[in-house]
Structure 1
Amino acid sequence: MAHDGTYDDYGRLTFARHEPGVLLVTMNRPEKYNATDEQMHAELARLWRDVSADPLTRVVVVTGAGRAFSAGGDLAMVERLAGDHERVAHLLREMSEIVYGITDCEKPVVSAINGVAVGAGTVVALLADISIAAEDARIGDGHIRLGVAAGDHAAIIWPLLVGMAKSRYYLLTGEMLTGAEAERIGLVSKAVPRDEVLPEALRVAAALATGPQQAIRWTKRALNGWVRQAGPIFDQSAAYEMLGFMSPDVVEGYTALREKRAPAFPSAR
């Protein structure tokens, strides 16, 4: 389906065009550190189809408004999800659309990780074809701390980026790492000082946008064969994560996060 190049029906994402053919997408909920609520999650799920069909866009850059990239899933959304089979099933479908959407998007995607990236934010940050992080950005997968399996992007992409030892360490412990450490272990493409993140991402995007378009897109598609090959691993991890939303552990997880205290998970008593 042809796309008219406008994105007026988006509310949580804002759009700006940069020459030559670069679309800057900003997750725009700075008062909540760009945490993903139902609306933003839905918009991130359909964005990639729109971008693929947009004749004016050659490369996408994704960043966050304010000081954060995206602080994961909104706690209020997590509370609404817990124990609600219909909501959980809907989220599972959207999660697949985000992961496979970025992977299958014809246009290269560059992430400008300007600050904290957790949970749903880390999906876009790390599945992007090229990731530019602030050296002091804090990156992590928050699932274990919430009491659910590391689904989303974690099982599909972390082992490809950093190998099993580091993946197991960070995904089983839920520890955060800095942008500088993420670059050192290969989790992101490049780490730069915070004020250089967006200029560097736009510089890389402009280089991609002025390069041989078919060759770049076909190279992306070929490389992402590795990601598509791991599709069944993603599907399994996502289902396990959603199953966790039906468990007592997730209730304790979001309650402890809300109360800013250490969780006492029922399964560990």
Structure 2
Amino acid sequence: MTGEREVQTERDGKVGVITLDRPDKLNAYTPDMGDELVDAFRTFSADPEIGAILLTGNGRAFCAGADRAFLKGERGRNGLQIGEEHFIDGFVSELFAIETPIIAAVNGPAVGIGATMLLALDMRIASESASFGFPFAKLGLMPGMGSTVLLPAIVGLSRAKDILLSGAMLTSVEALEAGLVSRMCGDDELPETARELAHRVAGNDGSAMAASKRALAGQLGTALTNAIKDEQREAQNLAHRRVARLYSLTNDG
């Protein structure tokens, strides 16, 4: 998988496969990757021939978080800085509402946005070498993508607080025990295991699965919308405090 695109897609029968494809950068997230993810999810979810979507990473990482160059203000080919693209700015509600089942095959470290992007998906499988990092408290950042409501819904409120406030890095075993992932397998087994599961899911009745997803989501959709607004407000507050501290330090010097 080479080329300028940072997300590759393929059709494997009734399964749409989405692969993060910056292996030399551990699939670090950029605004261009975000735009391509939005396009890929929309394309597959609108295709009546696709019964399941599989998301994974190319190489030894799933997604090692946001690319540092872009955190420092670099703009993507789309002209956007991180946070201005729709994937971060509001796509999670649409992603959560997609009726086609979405499975994540986490093949290595999933850190920061690499971890939070997984929370809106339906099923998460981890390889033995996978890990899940939530370093936001250590970095002075606000976790986004609805994670403040999705993570508690997945692992429970007490465990979610432990993870977010401690800035935890979970091993695949710890993620399995917490319920963050539902299955774990050997590194070499992950691609085949994930595709077998995706094909099995894709063979089910699409209308029945969509109905189940809607019923399971329940009122969480409204809570998710509110959480996104709260996260964005708190992220702006944190950013303003960082600027104020920097200004104060500069003047004191």
TM-score, normalisation: structure 2: 0.85
Cα drift, residue 251 of structure 1: 9.9
Aligned pairs, number: 239
> Distance between the aligned counterparts of 1:139 and 1:207, measured in 2?
26
> Distance between the aligned counterparts of 1:135 and 1:58, measured in 2?
27
> Distance between the aligned counterparts of 1:120 and 1:98, measured in 2?
13
| Partner of residue 203, structure 2 | 210
> Distance between the aligned counterparts of 1:251 and 1:119, measured in 2?
24
Residue 95 (str. 1) matches residue 88 (str. 2): yes
> Distance between the aligned counterparts of 1:178 and 1:87, measured in 2?
31
Residue 236 (str. 1) matches residue 230 (str. 2): yes
Amino acid at match of 1:11: R
Amino acid at match of 1:60: I
Q: Which runs of 5+ in 2 are unaligned?
A: 75-79, 247-253
Residue 70 (str. 1) matches residue 50 (str. 2): no
C-alpha spacing 1:94/1:48, structure 2 compared with 1 (3 Å):
same
Decide which of 15, 22, 25 is 2:9's aligned counterpart.
15
Is the contact made by 2:137 and 2:164 (CA closer than 8 Å) also made in structure 1? Answer: yes
Q: Which runs of 5+ in 1 are unaligned?
A: 1-9, 253-269
> Distance between the aligned counterparts of 1:184 and 1:22, measured in 2?
28
| Partner of residue 136, structure 2 | 143
Matches within 5 A, 1:13-162: 13-19=7-13, 21-80=14-73, 87=81, 90-91=84-85, 93-162=86-155
Cα drift, residue 165 of structure 1: 1.4
Deviates more, 1:232-241 or 1:186-195: 232-241
Cα drift, residue 159 of structure 1: 0.5
> Distance between the aligned counterparts of 2:244 and 2:190, measured in 1?
34
> Distance between the aligned counterparts of 1:251 and 1:147, measured in 2?
12
| Partner of residue 251, structure 2 | none
Cα shift readout 1:181-230 (whole Å, capped 9, x = no counterpart): 11111111112122222212111111111111110111112212353132
C-alpha spacing 1:13/1:77, structure 2 compared with 1 (3 Å):
same
> Distance between the aligned counterparts of 2:212 and 2:124, measured in 1?
17
> Distance between the aligned counterparts of 2:136 and 2:73, measured in 1?
16
TM-score, normalisation: structure 1: 0.80
> Distance between the aligned counterparts of 1:229 and 1:49, measured in 2?
21
Cα drift, residue 23 of structure 1: 0.9
Cα shift readout 1:131-166 (whole Å, capped 9, x = no counterpart): 001133110223222211222242021101111111
Task: Give structure 1 regions of 4+ aligned residues with deviation exceeding 3 angstroms.
Answer: 86-89, 249-252
